[in-house]
Amino acid sequence: MFADDDGDNFGFGATFGHRQGGLRMRQRQFSRYYSAYPVAAHPGNKADANYGGKIFMPASALEELSRLEIVYPMLFKLENDEAATSKRTHCGVLEFTAEEGRVYLPQWMMETLALSPGAPVKVINVALLHGSLVKLQPQSTDFLDISDHRAVLENALRRFSALTVGDIVTIEYNNREYRIAVLETKPSPSAINIVETDLSVDFAAPLGYVEPSVRAPSGASNNSMAVDGNNSRPSSSIAKDIRQKEEAAKSEISSTRFAAFRGSGFRLSSSNKDKADAPMPAPRSYASIPDNDAPTTETSRMGAGQDQPVPLDLPIGTLFFGYDFVPPPGSELDDNIDKEVDKFKGKGQVLRQRRKR
């Protein structure tokens, strides 16, 4: 009869056996002692098995298990009776390639059972309930650097057949090792079977993880104070000063900004006297030089005794595209500019002459 750590019977284990003389005979259970060695000592170079939950057993164990009516998949409970406190874990079997009298265990399993190389370990065949929930806790904050935890765990747990509460398993991802503790399992409180089952995974905060502190926003309370130099005053007064400075800046910008249609207008119904008395707006020039004194040469645009051009005095919003072109006196352009050119005085030609009637 098969049982888990709590001694409860599961599945087919409670119905195995046959009646003889009116009594129900219990099935024989596989239970053997082997010398435990780490996977690194396996002659077949099975280093990848360190990141899983399966062991290597001798071929004789397969022969004996095949004669027993066991529940598949094969699950085993490992116990170290010689430790100060009884150590135990659960595992599956990867291969039956170990030497007689030996089993090879992953390194994390050797540490869990407090086994030294060559120490005896008890191997017992058991049946476990299919798990529905497991709670894990990474042993370092480096686990948070993994972008897709779900995909990494799904791939890593394929190398495990069972999970036991209290174990600290080791997985490998991107050439780095991550240690993860098993905190809780359901429906069994001690160990579960995770082969071909829908397993929900819950995470606890990694060891050494510190929650980021949330800073209170400034000015959230009406009684908050803001320090300015050696003086302290309520933050509301500072906000008032800022608003006043913004309003002053806006008024200054609006006063210097270009505004169209500032000239004075005339009404049609007004008298001639009103038109005569109304002041005429002075025409504004596009340059500092009056329009009637437009420069004729490049040197005339220079100020008296100055080597630099006179700066343009343009109203805001006005674009200046340069002065009118005035050819130098005596040039060909100046001689031809006054000559009238007769336009459209040519004679037309036709292909067929009109016949005279």
* pLDDT (tens digit per residue) in 159-183: 999 999 999 999 999 989 999 999 9
pLDDT at residue 208, rounded to an integer: 87
State the chain's mean pLDDT as an integer.
75
Instruction: Give the β-pairing of 162-164 and 133-138.
Output: unpaired
Confidence of residue 64 (pLDDT cuts 50, 70, 90): very high
pLDDT at 23: 38
Residues forming beta bridges with residue 100, ordered by sequence position: none
Contact 120, 33 (CB under 8 A): yes
- What pLDDT is stored for residue 225 in this prediction? 41
pTM for the model: 0.55
Q: What is the pLDDT of residue 303?
A: 47
Checking if the pLDDT of 233 tops 50, the result is no
Cα dihedral across residues 72, 78, 81, 84: positive or negative: negative
Classify each residue of 142-153 as buried b or exposed e, where b means 16 or more C-beta atoms within 10 Å of its C-beta.
ebeebeeeeebb
Q: How large a percentage of the chain has pLDDT more than 70?
A: 61
Residue with tokens 């996977």: 39
Exposure of 132 in the CB half-sphere (CA atoms within 13 A): 4
The tokens 């002692």 sit on which residue? 33
| Stretch 82-86: mean pLDDT | 77
- CB contact at 8 A, 105 and 34: no
- Residue 251: the pLDDT is 77
- The residue with greater pLDDT, 146 or 268, is 146
Q: How confident is the model at residue 295 (pLDDT cuts 50, 70, 90)?
A: very low
DSSP state, residue 275: H
Per-residue pLDDT, 245: 64
In b/e form, how buried is each residue of 272-299, taking b as 16+ CB within 10 angstroms?
A: eeeeeeeeeeeeebbbebeeeeeeeeee
Taking only the tens place, the pLDDT of each residue in 6-37 is: 554 444 333 334 343 443 444 568 999 999 99
Which regions of 194-334 does DSSP assign to beta strands (E)?
200-203, 225-228, 231-234
d(CA 89, CA 164): 6
**Residue 118, C-beta contacts closer than 8 angstroms, at least 6 positions apart:** 35, 36, 37
Please say whether the beta carbons of 3 and 38 come within 8 A. no
Amino acid at 102: R
Q: Which residues make Cβ contacts (< 8 Å) with residue 76, sequence separation at least 6?
A: 55, 90, 91, 92, 93, 123, 124, 125, 126
Amino acid 294: pLDDT: 45
Please indicate whether residue 236 or residue 274 has the higher confidence score (pLDDT). Answer: 274
Write down the pLDDT at residue 281. Answer: 55
When pLDDT is averaged across residues 118-124 and rounded to a whole number, the result is 95
Half-sphere exposure of residue 101: CA atoms within 13 angstroms, side-chain side: 2
**What is the C-alpha to C-alpha distance for residues 297 and 315, in angstroms, rounded to an integer?**
25
Residue 345 has which token pair? 């005085």
Q: Is 78 exposed, middle or buried (0-12, 13-18, 19+ CB in 10 A)?
A: buried
